[in-house]
Amino acid sequence: MGLRNLAEALNNPLYVKHAQDGSYPQRQGGNLVQVPASEVLEIGRDRGPRVLIGYFGSFPTRIAILGEDVPSIKQLLDDLRLPSSYRPHSGEAPFQFLRSRAATVEGGLPYFELEVPSGNEMEYQRVLQKLVEVHARKDATLQRT
């Protein structure tokens, strides 16, 4: 399974969680509800914004970022320091899209999501590794203060 392989490649149980037959948050109206997914990969900490990837079998894979507030999501996506134009097959495009979507929102539900083609999950490894590193740096900074 693609997300299991991705979780194993990221190899960081502190910030990476994988679940078979998990639940994935999805916006319905103005609320988030949990929907069943074949696999869910979560990158994040106990606090702050998290990135989730949901695999739904024959339906498109979904990537979401959710947090306590919109500014924290914007900050996390900015901390990835993605280039303004993406390279094909680099896995950056969905995260650049989420960043541009978050940049236009001031408040509301701190949740952004998009569908991506299934089967390309390993393309996101480089960006997700950067995300793990961002979380590790933030935790190291918190421990020093």
Tell me the per-residue pLDDT of 17-34, one tens digit each, with 9 for 90 and over. 999 999 999 988 888 999
Quick one: which of 102, 123, 124, 121 has its CA closest to 111?
A: 102
Q: How many CB atoms lie under 10 A from the CB of residue 46?
A: 7
Tell me the residue type at 28.
Q
**pLDDT tier at 35, thresholds 50, 70, 90:** very high
Beta strands 111-116 and 16-28 are unpaired
pTM (predicted TM-score):
0.90
